[in-house]
Amino acid sequence: MYDNHIHCHEFPREELEGYVKEWSLVCVSDDLQSSRKTLELEAAVKCLGIHPWQVEKAQPGDLEAVLHLIERSEAQCIGEVGLDKRFVPHSFDKQREYFRIFLKTARELDLVVNVHAPDAWVDVVEELRKADVDRALIHWYTGPLELLETIRDLGYYVSINPAVVIQKKHQEVAKAADRRIVLVESDGPYEYRGMRLAPPAIRKTVEKLAELWETTQEYVVEVVENNAARLWRR
């Protein structure tokens, strides 16, 4: 199965080697250094970028260097990039400047964008639309339910995190979203309320989705894997 959003570069190498045997990992990066590291890892999809939390710490030249890596490498995806009004609202202007440049690059090179957007859900969708980006995944979506239709109509996806077993808002999203836009992710090795997020936790997501959709786990796997194959053109 695909893990459509995981910070592979933060895992110990042996642990990652174990996951690679069983999972198709979509590895995202946080900054220039981790973008370089992601390129060296074994992964189904490599995403390079500068995370909104890292934008304020980025050195002059880091953005150009990451863009250069994206252009010169086999990376098929830009991420983790986006906008964040919940955790780092003070750097919003610089985040938007970076995000717009990444979106322009995604458009030019026909790459997928792996997006972070806490409390900037409407902003990211608007930026993606304006930039005319074709393929995007808004990860760990807990935004407005009304926006899900727009996301679908634009051809974008949302990913459901294992936090869905406890996070009420995320459960509502999982229920309300058109199933054709739903993907799964771990966002590992991030921790959420005592849960260590890593690919095996996706099994809990599948269980929960089966319950919320009143269907079988096999069907859930089939749906999310078909969606991933479409997004990643596999």
- Options 81-89, 125-133, 182-190, 203-211: segment touching Zn ion (CB under 5 A): 182-190
Q: Which of 62, 81, 187, 197 binds Zn ion (CB under 5 A)?
A: 187
Site string for Zn ion, 131-170 (x = CB under 5 A): ----------------------------------------
Q: How far is the CB of 5 from Zn ion (least distance, A)?
A: 6
* Residue 94 to residue 153: CA distance in whole angstroms: 29
Which ranges in the chain belong to alpha helices (H)?
Answer: 13-22, 32-40, 52-55, 62-72, 92-109, 121-130, 147-153, 168-176, 202-212, 217-231
Q: Strand 191-192 and strand 195-196: pairing? A: antiparallel
Query: Residue of minimal CB distance from Zn ion?
Result: 187
- Options 52-60, 89-97, 168-176, 184-192: segment touching Zn ion (CB under 5 A): 184-192
**By C-beta, is 31 or 187 nearer to Zn ion?**
187
- What amino acid occupies position 214? E
Residue bearing tokens 């590992």:
188
Q: Report angle CA 9, 11, 12 to the nearest 5 degrees.
A: 115
Q: How far is the CB of 153 from Zn ion (least distance, A)?
A: 25
Q: How far is the CB of 139 from Zn ion (least distance, A)?
A: 6
- Options 39-47, 78-86, 178-186, 219-227: segment touching Zn ion (CB under 5 A): 78-86
**By C-beta, is 3 or 187 nearer to Zn ion?**
187
Query: 114 and 99 in contact (C-beta within 8 Å)?
Result: no
Q: How far is the CB of 51 from Zn ion (least distance, A)?
A: 7
The residue ranges that bind Zn ion (CB under 5 A) are: 80, 187
